[in-house]
Chains A and B, each alone.
Chain A
Amino acid sequence: MPDTPMITIEAVNKFYGIYKALDDVSLDIAAGEFFSLLGPSGCGKTTLLRSIAGFDTPSTGDIRIDGQSVIGTPPNRRPTNMVFQSYAIFPHLDVEENVAYGLKRLKLDAAEERRRVEAALEQVRLGHLGKRRAHELSGGQRQRVALARALVMRPKVLLLDEPLSALDKKLREEMQVELRSLQKAVGITFILVTHDQYEALALSDRIAVMFGGRIAQVATPKEIYQRPTTRQIADFLGGMNFMKARITGETATRLSVETPRFGDVTLDKPLGFNARNGTATIGIRPERLRVLWDDARADFELAGRVVDRHYFGEITHLIVDVPGMEQPLSVSETNNFGADDIPVGDAVRLAYDPDALVALSD
């Protein structure tokens, strides 16, 4: 990571009347990073992105791009470009004119302008549609025009507000792959706003999870998924089984707990942890629990009974009641070995790895 971050957000607050849309947000984003802002609807992702672009002004705090404070700089003089959620393709211009829109102001000579427009359209594989109007394009094609129009400006930072949310699942997955390789190719900083956790996990170098205007955790996709710091984050990023455990020992960084069925374990203490009447919340992902077939054995086992079963094509979710636990466990098992055929009511044994357990703040 280079020394000065591309973007520094420092103690930014944003009020709408008395409503606090951004609450003491601080972030550093490195040059060339693919950074995602992830969170549920209304958590302030768009507000933060628009503050970086210059469409919203923070009530307090500072935003620096490439070392320069941009508070008070209008959007047209910031080294950022944005891909809008609705794409905002100019309906009175054709695709080429849309892409050339921002270049006009640069007063390039005609040949250079053409070359850059064509290169940008090639980059998003739209070379053959240059003369079409916005209403003659499909959703995915519009999205590419918006991308080309922003990239042709060669911004230092590209801002994307839920660029894929209007596309159907198949096209979305295709565009995700393209977006990632595009970012690798152009090498500029991408900041992506999304409420789709899989999209954030698949694309990003790092993710900031936001709730209610605050940043809850900033980490790599793997870390966010495997080591979420709070129950809320764990819950938002895919399912998790939660249980209460009694704290038996505590140091500055570690926590020893006695769990109902997972034995005594010592775990990393999450940031901002507060013990409540000597108990902690412990979690384990459904896919970290495995069904043990026939007389297979494992070092760490649980016994229970299947009370429900949900089929999802490549996987099946088994709901397993384990005696002594408050809540039944959710187990995600691939269907390779016939998990979808386990009858409800059958007894099963589950294997787990104690490393998969995480301690969570509430």
Chain B
Amino acid sequence: MAVLSGTEVEQRPAYPPKNRVRWTASEEASGLALISPTLLYAVALLFLPILIVVAYSFWTQDYLTIDRTFTLQNYRTALGEPIYQDLLLRSLAISLVVSVVTVTVSYPIAWFISFHGGVHKNLWLFLITVPCWTSYLLRVMSWKVILGYGGVMNTGLLSIGIIDKPLTSLLYNSNAVVITLVHSWAAFAILPIFVSLEKVDRSLIEAAHDLGDNKLMSFLRVTLPLSLPGVISAFLIVMIPTVGDYVTPKLVGGKDGVMIATAIQAQFGKGANWPLGAALSVTTMVIVSAMAGLAVLALKLLVRMAK
């Protein structure tokens, strides 16, 4: 118990007595024991594959035989070869652009549903998930139809006279990859942002107005900071998988839109160099984690400045 300065005597919760019972009899231990089957299962499924990939990245392959002597040669290639550097940088840039655009596009949608969805909020959310019912491949292919030489976009623009010959810059480049990925991932970004917006107590926003904020200021000072957890998870949900996306660049990316996953796939497939593929995977993984961490920090800093 501690007496604080001021007028009140405050009581701290009493801490458990120091003479501890054996750990194996503690609540923590029994809790761990209870979840251990699922925990082991999850650990096995999550970490074993990663461990195998990491192990491979330190070995060498000679046609079909694996040489298990430790070497850093794969990492030297993965980080040193200009082609891999380029691919890695491009993948990171594309995924960063995709996540920024997706979150920027999704936030207003989530905000609108949460604040102005009325009694139909669930219907709106349901409608947003409708595109996800079709296969991912089909959705990517449909963008080919939209952005192609004789596609919906070009014929549309031609018929209203904005352009006089079809644009070739729409498909088979990194823009097409970004557009397609943003569309594929928007629903997954809207949901976490929506959830965190729903949790913002509306009386806090009223309090901000009451204290002199206009609509924009109360949004920047209250709604946005309080919905930040949703923004961060949306950002990560989009960024992490898109770095390694394989299908979209393959189908709509053309030569300029090739990303690191294509190179990794090539090493595990035609290149028959699993260790190099593994080293490329591990490198990507580490860099993505670092970038994700940086992005989270940057977002938090941004909000702190808005205060």
Contact = CB atoms under 8 A, between A and B. Distances in A.
Nearest to B221: A101
A29 B258 CA distance: 72
A76 B214 contact: yes
Nearest to A128: B6
A311 to B, nearest CB: 33
A90 interface: yes
B7 A81 contact: no
Nearest to B200: A91
Nearest to A78: B210
Nearest to B206: A55
B306 to A, nearest CB: 11
B207 A90 contact: yes
A127 B226 CA distance: 26
B204 A90 contact: yes
A82 B201 contact: no
B214 A90 contact: no
A92 B217 CA distance: 16
26 contacts: A75-B210, A76-B209, A76-B210, A76-B213, A76-B214, A81-B211, A82-B207, A82-B210, A84-B203, A84-B206, A86-B201, A88-B203, A90-B222, A91-B226, A92-B225, A93-B307, A97-B307, A105-B211, A105-B213, A125-B6, A127-B6, A128-B4, A128-B6, A150-B210, A150-B211, A153-B212
B6 A88 contact: no
A260 interface: no
Interface of B: 4-7, 201, 203-204, 206-214, 217, 221-222, 225-226, 307
Report whether over half of chain B's contact residues are helix, strand or loop; otherwise say mixed: helix
Contacts of A82: 206-207, 210
Interface of A: 53-55, 74-76, 80-82, 84, 86, 88, 90-93, 97, 101-102, 105-106, 125, 127-129, 149-150, 153
A46 B103 CA distance: 38
A7 B273 CA distance: 82
Given A76-B209, A76-B212, A88 B204 contact: yes
A255 B243 CA distance: 89
Nearest to B217: A105
B207 A88 contact: yes
Given A76-B209, A105-B217, A127-B6, A86 B203 contact: yes
Contact of A84 (B207, B213, B226, B307): B207
A149 B208 CA distance: 11
Contacts of A128: 4-6
The 9 lowest CB-CB distance pairs between A and B, nearest first, are A102-B211, A88-B207, A88-B203, A128-B6, A75-B209, A105-B212, A76-B212, A82-B210, A102-B212
Nearest to B203: A88
Contacts of A76: 209-214
Most buried by B among A80, A97, A101, A106: A101
A88 B201 contact: yes
A81 B210 contact: yes
A82 B210 CA distance: 7
Contacts of A97: 307
A149 B226 CA distance: 19
